[in-house]
Structure 1
């Protein structure tokens, strides 16, 4: 819901900015408006450069340090839990059909992992719990599936 509101808000701001620019061009003339737009554009460009440098140095994006941790707490999972993060290569996951749903998960406070950690606490999980971090190459986390290369359906 929040994403939809932000999208609509951004669209409204863009339409208002376009309308304001049209009014400004008409009010002060194209030559003066062009000069002002050049100055504003220079400041916007410098601000964007600063934000890009900050993002690159903080490592919060793809290829950087992992962001906040992944946490599953006080839940009932009728299958498996797989947490994968910090992948620089390709990952293939898969598994068998889900086992029956476990009994009610215990209540109470559950500690949240440190920033960058992975945890499954206070939960009842019927299947496997797989946690993978920092994969630099291929990782196949599912069951082995073999095909006969002679059947014409090679992977």
Structure 2
């Protein structure tokens, strides 16, 4: 074997070794990133939730396990937009987290779903999954409630009807 052939062979082996090493490093990095990602098990606090209270609207029955469910009148928003400036409130003193889901009454299309909202906090406005043209949209607001001790544990809930008026 000539020196050129030996050199070529050695260079090829080094290139293969470097390539294998790069693949192994890439796999290790990918595995680390994937395995350290938090799993969404539905118990995440909504990042939009902020402290919110209405004086005189606390829940004094929360200690006995009573849950105060908010009620809603008609929601107004500008047509052609996707934001409704209505707070989704979990009353201070409630013994649970709340998750809000807003669906069109006809067809059940989900327009909005929050993550968990702690007691004494609210989501100040909702960004819908799509903009709404001018019109009146009957919606169902489903309020799921979850244990403060174990947020994966559902409690009772409620469904309320209201309308979104886009004009």
TM-score, scaled to structure 2: 0.29
Return the structure number with greater strand share: 2
Return the structure number with greater helix share: 1
TM-score, scaled to structure 1: 0.31
